[in-house]
Amino acid sequence: MKMRKVLALLAVCAFAVFALAGCGGSQNASSGSGSGAKVLKVGSSIDFAPFEFQDEGQKEYQGFDMDLIRAIGKEMGYEVEIQNLGFDGLIPALQGKNIDVIISGMTINDERKQNVLFSEPYYQSGLTMVVRSDEQGIKTFQDLKGKKVAVQMGTTSAAEVSKIDGVEVKTLNTPADCFMELKAGGVDAVVNDRPVNDYYITKSGATGVKALEEKLTAEDYGIAVGKDNKELQEKINAAFKKIKENGEYDKIFAKWFGEKK
C-alpha cells in the first residue's frame, strides 16, 4: 500500500536526522572545522589545590588551571569540557585522543616533550617538602638520606626524589594521600609542588605539619596537546597571549595567589 511506504520512508528519515544530530554535538578540537559547537576536551587530575580541586558537595571543578583553561577556551570560541583523570593517565589519554589538552600543574620537561607539545609556560613553580611540625632531623633535601618520602605517582617529585641516594620512595595516587601518610607516620616527608604545599598548610587548615623553604627544583607549568597537534598548540598560545594582554590572566592569578608574581 502506498500509505505504508510513505510512513516507512518517514521513519527512515526521522532516524537519519536523529543519528546525524547525535554526531554533530560531540565534535572535538582535533577534528578540525565543521558545523556544531566546538568542544575542547580537557584532562586534569583534580587533586591539586589551588590549581585543580573540587570542594565537598560542589559539582564544579575549581582552581587556577580551571579558570585559565576556561578563559583560553572562551577566547578560542570553544566549549570547555573537563575530565578528571589520574595524573599518570593524562599523557596516555592525550595520546589515545580521549582528550585534546592537559592542564594539570604539569611541568614542562624534555622527557614529556618527546610525547606532547607544550604551550608557553603559564606558572613558575618548583618542588619543596612538607614534614611533621616536630621533625628535627630533616632541614634540607640532603637530610632525606635513609628517610621515607611520599610522592605522587608520575610526577616530577617522584622522578627527582628517586635521584637522591638512599631514600625510600613511597609512590601514592594523590598529594592528599601523601599528606595523610605523613600525618599517620608512614613516611618522614612529602615532596610536592611548592604552591600546593603552601596552600595545604595555610589555606586548608592543616595542623601538625610544616613546609620547608628550600627548593629542590625550579619548574614551569605548561598546557600539553598531542604531538601531532601544532595547530591547537598555536591557537592556545595565541589565546593565552590575548588574556595576558587584556588583564584576564592577572585577574585569575590574583584570585588564587593574591598578587602578581
Interacting residues toward ligand ARG by CB under 6 A: 45, 47-48, 52, 87, 104-107, 152, 155-156, 193, 219
Nearer to ligand ARG, 69 or 106 (CB): 106
CA neighbor of 64 nearest in space, from 10, 113, 122, 25: 122
Find out whether the peptide bond into 50 is cis, omega within 30 degrees of 0.
yes
CB contact set of 68 (below 8 Å; sequence gap of 6+): 103, 122, 249, 252
Minimum gap (Å) between residue 237 Cβ and ligand ARG: 19
Distances in Å between the Cα of 62 and the Cα atoms of 178, 184, 246, 250 are 21, 28, 22, 17
Minimum gap (Å) between residue 14 Cβ and ligand ARG: 45
Nearer to ligand ARG, 126 or 138 (CB): 126
Nearer to ligand ARG, 78 or 87 (CB): 87
Minimum gap (Å) between residue 35 Cβ and ligand ARG: 34
Q: What is the DSSP letter of 258?
A: S
Minimum gap (Å) between residue 186 Cβ and ligand ARG: 20
Nearer to ligand ARG, 87 or 200 (CB): 87
Nearer to ligand ARG, 27 or 98 (CB): 98
Minimum gap (Å) between residue 105 Cβ and ligand ARG: 4
Q: What is the DSSP letter of 100?
A: S
Report how far residue 261's alpha carbon sits from residue 257's, in angstroms, rounded to the nearest whole number.
9
CA neighbor of 69 nearest in space, from 86, 82, 59, 56: 82
